[in-house]
Amino acid sequence: MTLNDTWAFSEYFSQLLLASFIFVIGRSSQDAYLALHKEYGDLVRIGPNCVSICKPDLIPTIYGIGKGYVKSDFYSVWQNIVNGKRVASMVFTTDEAEHAAMKKPIAAAYSLSTLKEFEPLLDSTTAVFLSRLDELFVDTGKVCDLGKYMQWYAFDVIGELTFSKRLGFLEKAQDVEGICASVGKNFDRCSVLGQMPWLDRLTYKNPIYLRYFAKPVSNPVVAFGQRRLEERLNDMDENVQPEIEIEDPALRAKVLHGTIPSKPDFLSRFLTLHEEQPDTVTDSRLLAYLFMNINAGSDTIGATIRAVFYYLLKNPDSMTELVNELQGAHKASKLTVPLPTWTECQNLPYLNAVIKEALRLNPALALPMERIVPPGPGLKIDYHTFPPGTIVGINPWVLHRDKRIFGEDAEEWQPKRWLSKDQEKIKYMDQHILTFGAGKRTCLGRNIAMLELTKLVPALLMRYEMRLADPEKEWRIINSWVVRQEGLDVVMSRRSG
């Protein structure tokens, strides 16, 4: 079959079946996209006006700054409704001017230099996490659904960073106010509607529905942020998370209680901006910032930590190599236990390679990141020209398995690829990592994510030996744009020495 034939075939296929809609409803679209690209090549038409692209060297063209490719209506579907009006968070606005206005005041709060200030907040939640794992699983020998706890950890961290309070997931060992379920439902619904945005305009964003039936705040996650905001404004911050007994004094010393006004959490930063620039940081934008943190910074982190541990547990050699590195560093007084510092963690090559490999094989957002071809000559790839208005996107899950970029073992877990002596090769691979997006719309929370991942993995591995409860069992991946993996059941014990 020639490229023209395959293109025609996939065109026919997409028209007939509305391919992307069907893949996404099936919840395993990452496999469907991979299979289609293997069969039909670099360009696969997945909807009447939509093309999935998997080809090296195209990231700068589609996502590069100043190239004019804007986000498609896939993103509009995720915009929330507050009091009958659309309120887009930064992730989901398709309007570049609005995006710039939203980003400018808050960008510094997410910068690398601010990171250090977040460490005590992060350590506080990690101390609670370890203490809960000790109590609930190590002391009892019960099997731990580590995936579930990792998601709760991620929620509590973002609560601690945003509101200076853990949201109580770990303390209560439950989904507080059903917020995980709400975030999950929102991903489930919007990932499907995003394939046919007109369906969203016809239903949830229909003016009649909005006028007569919609709740004042459409999304429970926004309502959740609103309640936390009101608590802060009414000085009702304390005592939200139940106090738990923490036996280990080294962990107890790290746990922060209640709100100290000088603590640099996101909410206090946003409130200061709200006071200083009320016309820019309006009431609704303030809520959008809170929603953005909870929505963008919880499930994505949970999915990535789960992947790190899944691959380590499935690859015992890799686990041993990492534990040896950590123990060696600890013996040389270069790694603090129970909670290592960010600076220490950055100096551990195998740890960083493991995290990079998990981010490559398991990008937390696994659908094409859709952009619209701008006015002008169109997008020319090989002998195809896609006219302005065509929706194009690269799916990180597929690109990260491309052998032309990552080599013959592209589909395998191989952290050592990141430790190659060939710096050019590493640079080329790095240029093709899309886990955090690319260009102007790159993930704003990337530094926080790396801080969280890089500190948590050694903290857990220095404390516990872990094994899969059933080594033969595979996890289940549910793809609702964010990938949610189920079935990471582990048995854990305290590591000796």
Which of 105, 338, 437, 458 binds ligand HEM (CB under 6 A)? It is 437
Which two structure tokens, joined as six digits, stand for 301? 């982190």
Which of 19, 91, 288, 392 binds ligand HEM (CB under 6 A)? It is 91
Integer CA distances (angstroms), 362 to 166, 354, 428, 497, in order: 27, 12, 19, 32
Q: How far is the CB of 30 from ligand HEM (least distance, A)?
A: 14
Q: How far apart are CA 279 and CA 281, in angstroms?
A: 6
Count of C-beta atoms within a 10 Å radius of residue 402: 17
Helix (H, G, I), strand (E, B) or coil at 148: helix
- CB nearer to ligand HEM: pick between 40 and 455: 455
Q: How far apart are CA 400 and CA 418, in angstroms?
A: 13
Which of 196, 399, 448, 491 binds ligand HEM (CB under 6 A)? It is 448
Which of 103, 189, 201, 263 binds ligand HEM (CB under 6 A)? It is 103
Which of 169-177, 347-355, 420-428, 430-438 is the region at the interface with ligand HEM (rule: CB under 6 A)? 430-438
- CB nearer to ligand HEM: pick between 14 and 304: 304
- CB nearer to ligand HEM: pick between 286 and 444: 444
Query: With binding defined as CB under 6 A, does residue 122 bind ligand HEM?
Result: no
Would you give the binding string for ligand HEM spanning residues 379-418, x where CB under 6 A is met? ----------------------------------------
Asked if 13 and 35 touch (Cβ cutoff 8 Å), the reply is no
**Residues in Cβ contact with 217 at an 8 Å cutoff, skipping those fewer than 6 apart:** 80, 81, 82, 83, 223, 226
Q: How far apart are CA 222 and CA 230, in angstroms?
A: 12
Asked if 155 and 298 touch (Cβ cutoff 8 Å), the reply is yes
Q: How far does CA 488 lie from the centroid of its chain?
A: 18
Query: With binding defined as CB under 6 A, does residue 296 bind ligand HEM?
Result: yes
The residues pairing with 490 across neighbouring beta strands, listed in sequence order, are 144, 468
Count of C-beta atoms within a 10 Å radius of residue 462: 20
Angle subtended by helix axes 220-233 and 266-276, to nearest 10:
80
Query: With binding defined as CB under 6 A, does residue 87 bind ligand HEM?
Result: no
Q: How far apart are CA 422 and CA 90, in angstroms?
A: 38
Which of 8-16, 78-86, 238-246, 299-307 is the region at the interface with ligand HEM (rule: CB under 6 A)? 299-307
- CB nearer to ligand HEM: pick between 19 and 449: 449
Angle, CA of 80, 107 and 295, to the nearest 5°: 35
- CB nearer to ligand HEM: pick between 109 and 329: 109
Query: With binding defined as CB under 6 A, does residue 106 bind ligand HEM?
Result: no
Which of the residues 301 through 360 are near ligand HEM (CB under 6 A)?
Answer: 301, 304
Backbone angles phi, psi at 349, to 5 degrees: -60, -45
Q: Which helix (H) or strand (E) holds 145?
A: strand 144-145
Q: How far is the CB of 453 from ligand HEM (least distance, A)?
A: 7
Which of 124-132, 190-198, 257-265, 440-448 is the region at the interface with ligand HEM (rule: CB under 6 A)? 440-448
Nearest to 233 by CA among 180, 193, 192, 290: 290
Q: How far is the CB of 116 from ligand HEM (least distance, A)?
A: 16
Nearest residue relative to ligand HEM (C-beta): 445
Which of 41-49, 173-181, 327-335, 436-444 is the region at the interface with ligand HEM (rule: CB under 6 A)? 436-444
Which of 24, 445, 463, 466 binds ligand HEM (CB under 6 A)? It is 445
DSSP 178: G
Query: With binding defined as CB under 6 A, does residue 222 bind ligand HEM?
Result: no
- CB nearer to ligand HEM: pick between 89 and 131: 89
Tell me which residues touch ligand HEM (CB under 6 A).
Answer: 90-91, 103, 292-293, 296-297, 300-301, 304, 364-365, 369, 435-437, 441, 443-445, 448-449
